[in-house]
Amino acid sequence: MNIILLGPPGAGKGTQARHLVETRGMVQLSTGDMLREAKDSGTEMGNIVADVMARGALVTDEIVIGLIREKLADKTEHGGFIFDGFPRTLPQADALGALMEAEGQSLDAVIEMRVDDEALVDRITARSTCGSCGEVYNDNTKPIPADGKCTSCGGTEFKRRADDNEESLKNRLMAYYKQTSPLIGYYYAKGMLSSVNGLGTMEAVQVDIAAVLDR
């Protein structure tokens, strides 16, 4: 099963993707992770990525599609792919659809994680992550344990993103609404879109996503 997680920054896509990786054996395809992995891989595509990043140039859609093509060609058994952070635009959605068709694969679900902007700002400005494993904590709903150790890996280093502040987040939200939110209508028209309440508890969102995938 191949799925896309849609939602603004901070909606919880990464957290839910990690849960699906752990419980369903799916493979998370995060654009940032793929680029970092490719840069150090020594492959032809990896050398292209390394050169682009060394020059500080923008990574093109063609490069990202090429990285995804390599992942789709890997025949290792798994529970399907989770596209996290791609596509972000309508041209990227068209390119991904064409690639999936060319590779004999399909997109089975597109899940929109709906959030309220004001609540999202409150959530993100209180967010921190474990520096070792990336586990997400929140000052209000899931504070860092009193003993200062991550519940997932035992790490003791926690960090906040420099752009997890109100002004920066509003700029990121504006970019999302301009570039990415049109995908909601795009996939709705294709009959592929399901929506869940992204502001529910982590467990409640997990249950809602599972219900979509199990239909």
Of the candidates 95, 114, 96, 124, the one whose C-alpha atom is nearest the C-alpha of residue 184 is 114
Residues 6+ apart with CB under 8 A from 41: none
Catalytic residue check, 123: no
What would the two tokens of residue 127 be?
């967010």
Catalytic residue check, 161: yes
Catalytic residue check, 13: yes
Catalytic residue check, 36: no
* Active-site annotation holder among 13, 159, 160, 178: 13
Catalytic residue check, 55: no
| Cα 175 to Cα 169: distance, rounded to the nearest angstrom | 10
* Active-site annotation holder among 114, 127, 142, 160: 127
* Active-site annotation holder among 39, 69, 71, 88: 88
Of the candidates 46, 48, 51, 21, the one whose C-alpha atom is nearest the C-alpha of residue 36 is 46
Walk across the sheet containing 27-30 and list its strands.
27-30, 81-84, 3-6, 109-114, 193-197
Residues belonging to the active site: 13, 88, 127, 161, 172
